[in-house]
Chains A and B, each alone.
Chain A
Amino acid sequence: MNSSIGISEPQVTRELALDHGLTEEEYDRILEILGRTPTYTELGIYSVMWSEHCSYKNSIAVLKTLPRTGERLLVGAGEENAGLVDIGDGLAVAFKIESHNHPSAVEPYQGAATGVGGIMRDIFTMGARPIAGLNSLRFGTLDDPRARYLLKNVVRGIGDYGNSFGVPTVGGEIYFDACYRDNPLVNAMSVGIVRQGETARAIAAGVGNPVMIVGSATGRDGIHGATFASEEISEESESRRPSVQVGDPFTEKLLLEATLEAIRTGYVIGIQDMGAAGLTCSSMEMSAKGRVGMDLYVDKVPVRETGMSAYEIMLSESQERMLLVVQKGHEDDVRKVFEQWDLPATIIGYVKNGGRVTVYEDGQVKADVPAESLVLGGGAPVYVRETREPSYLKDVRNPDYLNFPEPEDYNSVFLDLLASPVIASKRWVWEQYDSMVRTNTVSTRGDAAVVRIKGTSKALSLCTDCNSRYVYLNPRRGGQIAVAEAARNVVCTGAIPIAITNCLNFGNPYDPEVYWQFKEAVAGIGEACRAFDTPVTGGNVSFYNESGSSAVYPTPVIGMLGLLNDVSGKMQAGFRAPGDHIFLLGTNRGDIGGSEYLRIRTGRISGDAPNLDLSHERRLQQLCLELIEKKLIQSAHDVSEGGVAVALAEACLWSDVANTGIQSGVELFGSVRADFWLYGETQSLIVISASPSAAADVLGLSRQRGVPCQSIGQVTDKGMVSIGGKISLRTQILREVYEQGLASALGE
């Protein structure tokens, strides 16, 4: 075996294995599995497959505690490239969210672009046509030029890729906190539709069936991208720039059309996109799943550079490629489809018995490994790490954070809130995304985006959500809140929450405090998902989001899928008509821990996360859906960052009626401090409005369902926002501040 190694390849030693990011124990296991020293190519294969990014070795044991079953789930979490959810009418939704944080930290434009490309491929490799993209972004504060640079280029990267690819970017979220300065988070989500029974699987089967590579030629870009994603950001990260892949949305568009057409021929046995760890990951996972092996001839792989070794070809993360197993005798039928779209489709190997993947180069064996030994759920290592409650928690929860006076001027602090980039309109960002292509986007304004499904009366309601400050202050409750708020968001559009995908962004799992955050947050997500009956269909874990000595806030982003059975029943967030009565559903306790208001007033992220009672939240959401279904309300808008005051302002600004304002009474606050009532971020609150004739019914139904419903005023067309005798500002002023906030912070 060793005799077949090319003379230019390094000698494999224990030191080289450690350099590849493997541990001593992992290297020992490789020696045991193979019964010999691995070749250089094999070392590369094991190192990427056992990297955190591909193996989930430090997360899978914890992830398995999440609820992952439900009557709508057609494919369980982790079984295929994305979750698959039954939405009736013979249709299913494939959806998933994934991180591209590290590439975006060093090369924001390409990092973000290929993040979009990668997640789109995960969807169409299942035979589903992507119909919407979302993204969840975190950057440092915008007074920092690095943060501005990263934001501008990440947004351009997402836009250029998604716009050209022709899938609308319909929603998402953006937050700014200093902890993300060097390690931004770029999470991309894709949602696709497929007819049940027409899905494709990521499996190899049928001895003798050819293995085809289709799409772009293979280059040296992205080698060890998966390994790079599995270490912290440091000063050396800049030298990792070549680990970042380069995106080509045009080729991806061709690949999309060709792939869907090829799957429809019925001759595609299995197909998997090449993302992290490229040809290695796709061939090993497909083989392991089918309990077969493959002979692969890397010299057949179309390359875009000369002199590429087996090691490089196996590890390349060049984008816009797919691996197919095709029914023998129908190679030409499949090839013809790809050629119609000017894409090469090349046979590079064959399925064989025995479970080993053998890699040949010029007739020489370069690697010969049991596929099962490499994959998650097979021989990949599984670790449960040590945990320790973080020491910072005591400090941040010290109740002295409440010791600051009421504001002298409620109006000016309100304008400060509306101008804060965390709260202000993200128009500057989303106008750079094509949100309308394919003419399915019913609404992007509000708590969640609504996308109709042509040929049915249905629509999907989609959002991403995570307030990482809450998770930092209380990981378990913060995890619960992320799910609860995402569910509340889709509920406010009239949709039933049906399933989630998650992207868990954390620091170094070998740090016991980070691992404690991780375990707690996942536990919280699990509890909330059980409460709302929204199983986890899959997602992604991104560890090592650190720079210097500090980790980012624990950021478990939830991607929520909601279903509207009848799109005509969609609810809007903006007020609809002057004279309508405004109500607040839920109990406003004035929780200000972790709020943007607290940060503005004290400069601190402190306190405990807002309270959350899952059964109360569930009742609130069911009431809201019932009010919508019975056509008793005109608008519904979730209360989140900036509190009730900001929610009321947004409902005015999002109204289709000019000069919409509100007039409320002065007896709003009860025993709660006025600023905490107005600007606190109490959970389980929804601002609704109802026509005067329906107001009594709204109150009555709320009482019956045991959910407090506070009357807080009326919608006007006077162009003034007057709340509780504390705030009195012209709607037009609010609009200017809210619309300009982000652009001003960017210096535009």
Chain B
Amino acid sequence: MQKVKFGILVFPGSNCDHDAHYAVSSVLNQEARFVWHKESSLGDVDVVVIPGGFSYGDYLRCGAIARFSPIMQDVVRFARAGGPVIGICNGFQILTEVGLLPGALLRNESLRFVCKDVYVRVEQAGARFTSACAPGEVLRIPIAHGEGRYVADAETLRRLEGEGRVVFRYVTPEGEAVPEANPNGSMNNIAGILNEGGNVLGLMPHPERACDPLLGNSDGQKVFQSLIQSFAVHETVHNLS
């Protein structure tokens, strides 16, 4: 099977870029390369990762400046053409700012930055990013953010829920989506959502931090493995036809 080529965007202030690179290349044995934000073309990549961090310091609204970086035009083109894009933490914030995902991420309800392991339930095991998970499976994945409270207007929420685009929800270790399990006050305990095409994922938890077994947790591998498998499926179909 051919290696999947991950393009990992680097904005000034990105700080999880190396983590994503390490997870997909060293742990999952795929190809990975950095794409500098001033470039105008993604080049030959299969997947775009918008990593976590504090692009441009996030002194304004998180992600509000990064969306104007030259590379983002090509990211939008890539996404509209159906290419898979995964935005983690600051990457999720950038995806909402650039309009590839609905809603917004506001300051945590506690008004404090929070870094800890949380539990998320896989709400859509059939999605491109979750096919390696069982329906309703609970994953332990860390979060690390000050502005991760997902909000959207009632109509958007209704659509997200109705169309099965809420892909991860904060839950207790036992899988209950209760307020105590919600680390930041997100509406409906939302931790991750998909775009309409199902090819763009934004999530606040950091799956790339939960890949290397040496660090005591490899639940995050499932997100990347799902994606990698989706290419294997494409390849198989292609070879058969």
Contacts and interface: CB of A to CB of B under 8 A. Distances in A.
Interface in B94-121: 112-116
A434 B208 contact: no
B214 interface: yes
Interface string B18-57: 1100110010000000000000000000000000111011
A715 B215 CA distance: 25
A272 interface: no
Given A164-B57, A249-B57, A250-B54, A442 B215 contact: yes
A249 B19 contact: no
A431 B57 contact: no
B94 to A, nearest CB: 15
Residue among B26, B146, B211 with the most chain A CB within 10 A? B146
Contacts of A338: none
A164 B142 CA distance: 17
A441 B215 contact: yes
B12 A436 contact: no
Contacts of B58: 164, 250
Contact of B114 (A156, A164, A431): A431
Contacts of B52: 437
A122 interface: no
A436 B53 contact: no
Nearest to A570: B214
A431 B57 CA distance: 21
Nearest to A163: B113
Given A166-B15, A250-B13, A342-B12, A452 B115 contact: no
Nearest to B59: A250
Contacts of B26: 454
A571 to B, nearest CB: 14
A175 interface: no
B40 to A, nearest CB: 16
Interface in A420-457: 430-439, 441-443, 452, 454
B215 A253 contact: no
Contacts of A439: 19, 22-23, 208-209, 211-212, 215
Nearest to A167: B15
Contacts of B214: 442, 452, 567-568
B144 interface: yes
Interface residues of B, number: 32
A250 B26 CA distance: 28
B19 A438 contact: yes
B114 A166 contact: no
Nearest to A160: B113
Contacts of B56: 250
A480 B208 CA distance: 42
Interface in A543-565: none
Nearest to B117: A436
B162 interface: no
A248 interface: yes
A159 B115 CA distance: 10
Contacts of B127: none
A436 B142 contact: yes
B interface, over-half SS: mixed
A435 B19 contact: no
Contact of B115 (A253, A342, A434): A434
Nearest to A568: B214
Contacts of B18: 438
B16 interface: yes
Contacts of A567: 214
Given A164-B57, A253-B15, A452-B214, A436 B115 contact: yes
A165 interface: yes
Nearest to A251: B57
B113 A159 contact: yes
Contact of A432 (B13, B114, B215, B216): B114
Contacts of A159: 113
Nearest to B18: A438
B57 A435 contact: no
B115 A431 contact: yes
Nearest to B26: A454
A249 B16 CA distance: 15
Contacts of B208: 439
A437 B19 contact: yes
Contacts of A430: 115
Interface in A145-196: 156, 159-160, 163-166
A654 interface: no
Contact of B53 (A166, A248, A251): A166
Interface string B107-147: 00000111110000000000000000000000000101010
A164 B18 CA distance: 15
Contacts of B22: 439, 454
A431 B114 CA distance: 5
A163 B114 CA distance: 10
A443 B217 CA distance: 12
Nearest to B52: A437
Given A439-B23, A441-B215, A253 B114 contact: no
A341 interface: yes
A249 B116 contact: no
Contacts of A695: none
Contacts of B16: 166, 437
B209 A165 contact: no
A254 interface: yes
A568 B214 CA distance: 8
B107 to A, nearest CB: 13
A439 B22 CA distance: 9
Contacts of B211: 439
Contacts of A432: 112-115
A702 B44 CA distance: 61
Nearest to B206: A436
A254 B54 CA distance: 11
Contacts of A438: 15, 18-19
Contact of A435 (B53, B115, B206): B115
Given A164-B57, A253-B15, A567-B214, 7 more contacts: A251-B57, A253-B13, A432-B115, A434-B113, A435-B115, A439-B23, A439-B208
Q: Which 10 A-B pairs rank lowest in CB-CB distance, beginning with the nearest? A: A166-B15, A250-B57, A164-B54, A434-B144, A439-B19, A434-B115, A432-B113, A159-B113, A250-B13, A436-B209
25 contacts: A163-B113, A166-B16, A166-B53, A250-B12, A250-B56, A250-B58, A254-B12, A341-B12, A342-B12, A432-B113, A432-B114, A434-B113, A434-B115, A434-B144, A437-B15, A437-B19, A439-B208, A439-B215, A441-B215, A442-B214, A452-B215, A454-B22, A454-B26, A567-B214, A568-B214
